[in-house]
Structure 1
Amino acid sequence: MLEDMRLFATVVENTSLNRAAERLNVTQPALSRRIARLERELGVDLFRRIGKRLELTAAGQLTYEFALELRRFHGEYLQRLNAFKSEEAQLATIGASLTTLQTTLPGLITAMTEKHPNLEIKAVTGKSHEIATLVKERKVDFGIVASSVDDDPAITSVPLFDDSLMLVLPRTHYILERTHLEVADLNGLPMILFAPGTWYRTMTDELFRQYGLKPDVRMEIDSFEAIVRLLSACRAGTLLPKSYLRPQLLEDNELYVVRIKELELAKRTTSLIHGNPGWLPASTRYLIEETIGFFARSAHQARD
């Protein structure tokens, strides 16, 4: 169909089968047969033949407009594809918050580099508003932040997924002897928390204030990995983003996730932010679409 549409558009633009055949370097009878076959497949007449001149029917005009769109989309696709055919390594610079860097970026980078071996990814960290500034100043290709930027017309926000906090405990923790845990059980619970200054810690503190909770905070650390490794030794619990918790991580560290309704209801949307598409290179637009597709597939797999 794509090739037939290309031939059809060439005939329209040359208003003659003979001229179109010369341009396409095919014989006029062969081109005529291809157009006749296309008309049979579509079930409509595309041309009215007035002497040697061809005139589009209404159906032909509609088909020509579609052929132009198809040509444009095909050209953009090839342009984006060519960005990954170069033997030289392609560089993508992604802005991400510290928590996003630890929770969201590793899986994305692994998937991207497996699909595009020549792609090099550089990550720049900062707070959400700092990443937004880097996007506007074109110092990063795009950003992934645990928020949306809807109040700035220079930035486009694309929601990727919703994240919530989960209570994580060592499997041997005494509190797991209870058959049911509620948010009130966090009061006085020994906990290791992420260091202040991120959306994740802000969300945690807001939950504590909302429910009047005062956990026994033993440590504040800016590394999820360090928190996870210290839980058993400190006999403490923690609140971690759902996006960070993977079965192998829990298995390796002998941890258990407790579902608490109030925690699951407190959600934060992680978004991809980018600048004006008009000044984005084709390779960057392609990476943005790939990133959106990656998280869409991940969400679908999680539902299944």
Structure 2
Amino acid sequence: MHPLYEAFVQVVEQETMVKAAEALHLTQPTLTRQIRQLEAQLGVPLFDRIGKRLVLNRAGELVYRYAKRSLREDRRMREELRTLADPEAGTVSIGAGLTPSIYLLPPVLAAYRARHPRVRFEVRTGSSREVLEMLEAREIDLAFVTTVEAGREDLETQPLWHDDLLLVAAPDSDVARAGRLRLADLVRWPAVLMGSGSGLRDWVNELAARHGLHLDIAMETDSLESISRLVQLGVGWSVLPRSSAEGDVAAGRLAVVELTDVDLGARTVTLVTRRDSLLPACAARFAASLSGMRAGGGAAAGPEWDGV
């Protein structure tokens, strides 16, 4: 139908069959046949023929509006399809947890943009569960999360880097002054933790449950920066990723407290994509570039990256 619409719109806008045929690089008889074919398909005449003149009638005016809109949308679709196929242009839609979005991804995105200035990024944040729901709903192309359910055959996963977990407290607090502690000692002091439902909070809850501990939780928040600030003010201790805490530790605003009986370990930040979905070329190129990352702890200054 689109070639017929194009012929019709040109006749309307050029006002004569001769000019329209020239614009379309067609012969006038061919163009005339296309207009008659369109009228036959729609079941109505589109022009009143007055002598040798064609005058657009009411039906023609209606079809002209819809034909223009259809051709405009067709051009837009083709432009977007070309963008999808161009790895050097387009928008990469990303979903990320709080730690990756604030501390780990910015230097990676900035470095990639410097090499590929026509690529744009849209970043949405949420818990690992929320980000994976965005991915399943096809609202994002790539997910960066710290928690992925095992056995998900519908997802492709690529571990990128590890982020050590640190027990932190205010340098002048009783927790810090106590020196090396056992995990059970922490019940003596209040804690400041992420809100329920976050991966980090779930991890702390599971650790406490395994050791039969009941923590005194003084405050909950969904902001790592708020937790750091509250800990600095002496409200309580917390467990934070190294990437979010090491700047304040280096500046002396936070102290790292050693546990003698528990290794807090690290969280792995993982890139997740859908197996059943073809990524836009720009997103596929960016994801492929991340394979050059070398996983390692302490990524606050940006992970080591050999990406193109």
Q: TM-score with structure 1 length normalisation?
A: 0.61
**2:266, 2:284 → 1: CA distance?**
28
Larger displacement relative to structure 2 (264-273 or 220-229)? 264-273
Aligned pair 1:288/2:292, yes or no? no
Contact 1:148-1:159 within 8 A present in 2 as well: no
Which residue identity is paired with 2:218? R
Encode CA deviations 1:88-129: one digit per residue, 9 max, x unaligned.
Answer: xx3211012344434433343333334434433211233434
Contact 2:160-2:293 within 8 A present in 1 as well: no
Match of 1:94 in 2: 94
Larger displacement relative to structure 2 (185-194 or 157-166)? 157-166
Which residue identity is paired with 1:273? V
**Paired residue secondary structure (1:245):** helix
Which residue identity is paired with 2:174? Y
State the superposition RMSD in angstroms: 3.3
**1:114, 1:213 → 2: CA distance?**
49
Spell out the pairing of 1:69-148 with structure 2 (5 A cutoff). 83-84=87-88, 90-148=90-148
Aligned pair in 2 of structure 1 residues 116, 170: CA closer, same or farther (>3 Å)? farther
Deviation at 1:212, TM superposition (A): 2.4
**Paired residue secondary structure (1:201):** helix
**1:275, 1:262 → 2: CA distance?**
39
Match of 2:237 in 1: 237
Aligned pair in 2 of structure 1 residues 230, 133: CA closer, same or farther (>3 Å)? closer
Which residue identity is paired with 2:275? N
Contact 1:173-1:235 within 8 A present in 2 as well: no
Which residue identity is paired with 2:228? V
Aligned pair in 2 of structure 1 residues 111, 213: CA closer, same or farther (>3 Å)? farther
Aligned pair in 2 of structure 1 residues 277, 283: CA closer, same or farther (>3 Å)? farther
Contact 1:95-1:134 within 8 A present in 2 as well: yes
**1:269, 1:157 → 2: CA distance?**
11
Q: How many residues align?
A: 220
Spell out the pairing of 1:51-62 with structure 2 (5 A cutoff). none
Deviation at 1:299, TM superposition (A): 7.7
Deviation at 1:221, TM superposition (A): 1.0
Q: TM-score with structure 2 length normalisation?
A: 0.60
Aligned pair in 2 of structure 1 residues 214, 299: CA closer, same or farther (>3 Å)? closer
Higher Rg of the two aligned structures: 2
Spell out the pairing of 1:8-47 with structure 2 (5 A cutoff). none
Match of 1:152 in 2: 152
Task: Structure 2 unaligned segments of length 5 or more: list them.
Answer: 1-82
Deviation at 1:287, TM superposition (A): 0.5
Encode CA deviations 1:43-85: one digit per residue, 9 max, x unaligned.
Answer: xxxxxxxxxxxxxxxxxxxxxxxxxxxxxxxxxxxx999633x
Identity of aligned residues (%): 27
Encode CA deviations 1:5-32: one digit per residue, 9 max, x unaligned.
Answer: xxxxxxxxxxxxxxxxxxxxxxxxxxxx
Aligned pair 1:270/2:269, yes or no? yes
**2:235, 2:249 → 1: CA distance?**
15
**1:143, 1:177 → 2: CA distance?**
40
Aligned pair in 2 of structure 1 residues 129, 228: CA closer, same or farther (>3 Å)? closer
Match of 2:60 in 1: none
**Paired residue secondary structure (1:83):** coil
Contact 1:196-1:202 within 8 A present in 2 as well: yes
Deviation at 1:297, TM superposition (A): 7.6
Contact 2:168-2:240 within 8 A present in 1 as well: yes
Aligned pair 1:207/2:210, yes or no? no
Deviation at 1:183, TM superposition (A): 1.4
Task: Structure 1 unaligned segments of length 5 or more: list them.
Answer: 1-78
Which residue identity is paired with 1:257? V
Contact 1:168-1:258 within 8 A present in 2 as well: yes
Deviation at 1:274, TM superposition (A): 0.8
Spell out the pairing of 1:158-237 with structure 2 (5 A cutoff). 158-237=158-237
Contact 2:97-2:125 within 8 A present in 1 as well: yes
Contact 2:183-2:262 within 8 A present in 1 as well: yes
Contact 2:192-2:235 within 8 A present in 1 as well: no
**Paired residue secondary structure (2:233):** helix
**1:298, 1:290 → 2: CA distance?**
20
**2:296, 2:111 → 1: CA distance?**
12
Deviation at 1:136, TM superposition (A): 3.8
